[in-house]
Structure 1
Amino acid sequence: MASNRQTDTAALVAMLGEHTTVNVRLALIADAQRWQLHHAQVTFDDDTPVTERAWRYSTATFLEARLPGSTVAALLRGEEQDVRGLHVVCLDPPSASASIYRLRGQQEWGRVTTPWPRTEWTINRDANALQPGYDLLVGDGPSFLNFDQALSAFLYQRSHDSNASHVDLWRIALPQRAGWLSQITIGPDLLTAVIDGEVLDGAVLELSWASGNHVQPVDGAGTLSFELPQGLVHDSLLMLRREDQWLDWRSFPAPTYGHARDASVVWEQPGPELEILLANGEGQHLECKREVPEGDSRKKMLKTIAAFASRDGGTVLIGVQDDLQIVGLPEKPNFDKQLLEVVGMIRDNLEPMPPYEPSLIDHEGKTILAIEVASGGQMYAYRNGQRPEYYVRVGPNTVPARHPEIAAGFRQAPTATRC
């Protein structure tokens, strides 16, 4: 979770002015004889080289460059600046304050994930600001159907999500590389953490849980381990800190298979985790299928996946009967082909694409396909022909969403993709 507070924009302007150069990505819209700033990403990072890029069209321009900090500070103040031969101005009235967030490593924010922690400042765009058009973009750069698709490709090399709009006028990031957890491996009786960092003097690594904690000093980059005689306790917290300031952390809630996995965390105990999940039985967050479904059963599974994503997440286990007996997937067709079949079902029938992760689990000689669905913070539809259908999970049942539930789901949908 990101900690959120406010800071004066003037402090950001001063910080930018103190830096000789900063890395920037700019999205600009043509406005008479000038270019108006639509979105700016700025990174204080002297260690990462920038490959300068420019996509130029008659109505829009996208630039990546290393610019003087004073130039970017002037833009933030609302002053017109010459940027690579373009007259650029930020016409939105400068906001008096910016939101500031402190993020741990491997935390997604605005479609970006970094291995190390970072501090980010954001300033929202004025609702009345000039908006990009929806014309085809053809020019000195790849061709795109519209501005939003070009922006997403330029910033993230990913396709545009029509349910995620970019409301940030400014997004400014400061990497925090003093220390971070680059990989955590959790086995049945041992937790091992690989620690990297540039300033680790005086740091400690702490594993805490409801009834106790263990602390080890950190002598530098390397590996530390904690013995887990009873396995990892649910809701444990692993924290790399120096006195009362955290450098990086990871938390480990009870396994539900319903939350997107952290790429830096490796679980080497799928058997016990699967047994804990099955011990709770089918319900709000678990659906079991004996095999990859066909016909009407296929539709039921897809509705359930949409319902999981629309609320709190959940898991579909294929290769497990309704009575929770593990039978495993049939060996023919092969397991990878069955996984790809399910992935294709989700891609072709759910809208937008829900956040999920498929995985094959080996358990006592049998293979189970787990579809771990994370909460997407919005409503997801099963596409029945041209008609979207919305569902929610009520106990062990998937039922049609009522109009107030659908409306509430769209109201809570994030205006920008944040974590």
Structure 2
Amino acid sequence: MANSGQTETTALVAMLGGRAAVNVRLALVADAQQWQLHHGQVTLDDDAPVKERAWRYSTATFLELRLPGPTVAALLRGDDQDVHGIRIVFPGPPSPSASTYRLRGQEEWGRVTTRWPRTEWTVSRDTNAPQPGHGLLVGDGPSFLNFDQALSAFLYQRPHESTEDRSDLWRIVLPQRVGWLSQITIGPDLLTAVVDGEALDGAVLELSGAADNQMQPVDGAGTYRFELAHGLAHDSLLTLRREDQWLDWRSFSAPTYGRARDASVVWEQPGPVLDLLLANGEGQHLECKREVPECESRKKMLKTIAAFASQDGGTVLIGVQDDLQIVSLPEKPNVDKQVLAVVGMIRDHLEPMPSYEPRVIDHDGKKILAVEVSGGDQMYAYRNEARPEFPEFYVRVGPNTVPARHREIAAGFRQAPGVTTF
């Protein structure tokens, strides 16, 4: 099967119709005294529990429940259906085909990530279909500034992003648990892969690069090792496959500190990782400092950390010049005191406390402090000692940290209830 392509909608209707029940999330909008389907997500996973939820507003309704497969098939076909006491009307003729994507484990696409590989189908919405309103949503559910924010919270437990594409009417997810890579540990001279799966007969592991290729058979779930005589090449690819079909894979071209990294890959050779990170240069997710800053430079670093936390994360490297030359941390004060100084700055000036990890990297005898900042689901403020009553909010635009606009600040402040993503 190709990594992407097209599937006839009739084939998806038949697949859904043949299942006893499926997990569904539906977003409905009110139009002319009726409820029209705006977006539906289906998970074809009998092992995934579902906790029924219903958020009801005058102009929108969000439902999560388990429905009979034929009912969902009928909705996909374009037939009106009664669901949870609501008559759902289809917004126009169904699309004849769906875009098809085959995704590896730990791959994020459309805000969804799973440990195992999966196949996803998306059916586009009719461009003439009614669009949801942009007013405040207040009703039998959490309050939101608008429909898009409510939809992001309901589906993903994450804030809405202005760059998101909401053109899909349906999203259908099928987990592929034949075989997958649970964890990969990369050391200076050894790569260790933990393989899991439900049907691994005949599978092999292949580690390939531009100048080398290694293979070994997989005789079941377990741990497999590849010796790395010269370390791991930057262009390496690890593939779990059966004949000419891949089951799962990982590439190791550009690991990135601080951002939403592949949780299945553990690097135990920080030097090569640092080289790859610096190769990308300062930008949206990387800021370099020669030393632990003081006075006005301190504020610049803290503003950047707040911006990283308010968006999708990033890293501050201390001991690296703006031209990306590694100069090392100063010998005095000692490294531990420099780490504590940075931790204290963050504690005293950022609110709320962002999720971050200070890590000292030894690179060819030079020590660098990496402050890895995770992206959050809200805005993080910098508080100036001179005016602590006036919080300041920032975002990252390329290699620059700039004041956040009012709409960006407003978009960051919302409550996202605890939900489990498909």
Q: 1:137: how far off?
A: 2.1
* Cα deviation 1:287-340 (Å, max 9, x = unaligned): 443224653685599789999xx9xx9964123346521016671571662584
- Compare 133-142 and 250-259 and name the one that shifted more: 250-259
Determine if the alignment matches structure 1 residue 157 to structure 2 residue 157.
yes
Q: Distance in 2 between matches of 1:56 and 1:281?
A: 46
- Alignment-derived partner of residue 360 in structure 1: 359
Q: 1:53: how far off?
A: 1.1
Q: 1:54: how far off?
A: 1.1
- Alignment-derived partner of residue 83 in structure 2: 83
Contact 1:302 1:346 in 2 (8 A): no
Residue type matched to 1:80 in 2?
Answer: D
Map 1:19-30 to 2 at 5 A: 19-30=19-30
- Alignment-derived partner of residue 12 in structure 2: 12
- Alignment-derived partner of residue 183 in structure 1: 183
TM-score (norm 2): 0.76
Identity score, percent: 61
Structure 1 residues 343, 233: CA separation in 2 closer, same or farther (over 3 Å shift)?
farther
Residue type matched to 1:360 in 2?
Answer: R
Tell me the SS of whatever aligns to 2:337.
coil
Structure 1 residues 206, 25: CA separation in 2 closer, same or farther (over 3 Å shift)?
same
- Alignment-derived partner of residue 331 in structure 1: 337
Q: 1:167: how far off?
A: 1.9
Q: 1:48: how far off?
A: 1.1
Q: Distance in 2 between matches of 1:256 and 1:49?
A: 33
Structure 1 residues 185, 389: CA separation in 2 closer, same or farther (over 3 Å shift)?
closer
Residue type matched to 1:153 in 2?
Answer: A
Contact 2:254 2:277 in 1 (8 A): no
* Cα deviation 1:366-387 (Å, max 9, x = unaligned): 450245899xxxxxxxxxx999
Structure 1 residues 240, 63: CA separation in 2 closer, same or farther (over 3 Å shift)?
same
* Cα deviation 1:111-165 (Å, max 9, x = unaligned): 1100000000001222221111122222222222222221111111122223324
Q: Distance in 1 between matches of 2:89 and 2:153?
A: 23
Residue type matched to 2:343 in 1?
Answer: K
Determine if the alignment matches structure 1 residue 116 to structure 2 residue 122.
no
Tell me the SS of whatever aligns to 2:193.
strand
- Alignment-derived partner of residue 102 in structure 1: 102
Tell me the SS of whatever aligns to 1:207.
strand
Determine if the alignment matches structure 1 residue 214 to structure 2 residue 214.
yes
- Alignment-derived partner of residue 370 in structure 2: 369
Map 1:240-259 to 2 at 5 A: 240-253=240-253
Q: Distance in 2 between matches of 1:263 and 1:343?
A: 30
Q: Distance in 2 between matches of 1:281 and 1:149?
A: 32
Contact 1:270 1:361 in 2 (8 A): no
Q: CA RMSD in A?
A: 3.8
- Compare 160-169 and 182-191 and name the one that shifted more: 160-169
Q: 1:187: how far off?
A: 0.7
Contact 1:39 1:168 in 2 (8 A): yes
Q: How many pairs were matched up?
A: 374
- Alignment-derived partner of residue 234 in structure 2: 234
Contact 1:24 1:41 in 2 (8 A): yes
Tell me the SS of whatever aligns to 1:114.
coil
Tell me the SS of whatever aligns to 1:201.
coil
Tell me the SS of whatever aligns to 2:199.
coil
Q: 1:347: how far off?
A: 11
Contact 1:185 1:192 in 2 (8 A): yes
Map 1:229-378 to 2 at 5 A: 229-253=229-253, 260-274=260-274, 287-292=288-293, 294-295=295-296, 299=300, 316-321=316-321, 324-327=326-329, 331=337, 334=340, 337=343, 340=346, 344=350, 359-363=358-362, 366=367, 368-370=369-371
Q: Distance in 1 between matches of 2:261 and 2:352?
A: 19
* Cα deviation 1:253-310 (Å, max 9, x = unaligned): 15675975211100011144336766x6977887443224653685599789999xx9
Tell me the SS of whatever aligns to 1:26.
strand
Structure 1 residues 149, 198: CA separation in 2 closer, same or farther (over 3 Å shift)?
same
Q: Distance in 2 between matches of 1:281 and 1:345?
A: 29
Residue type matched to 1:51 in 2?
Answer: K
Structure 1 residues 318, 33: CA separation in 2 closer, same or farther (over 3 Å shift)?
same
Map 1:130-149 to 2 at 5 A: 130-149=130-149
- Alignment-derived partner of residue 411 in structure 1: none
TM-score (norm 1): 0.77
Q: Distance in 2 between matches of 1:281 and 1:159?
A: 27
Residue type matched to 1:238 in 2?
Answer: L
Structure 1 residues 335, 129: CA separation in 2 closer, same or farther (over 3 Å shift)?
farther
Contact 1:321 1:327 in 2 (8 A): no
Residue type matched to 1:327 in 2?
Answer: L
Structure 1 residues 389, 136: CA separation in 2 closer, same or farther (over 3 Å shift)?
closer
Q: Distance in 2 between matches of 1:149 and 1:31?
A: 20
Q: Distance in 1 between matches of 2:277 and 2:33?
A: 61
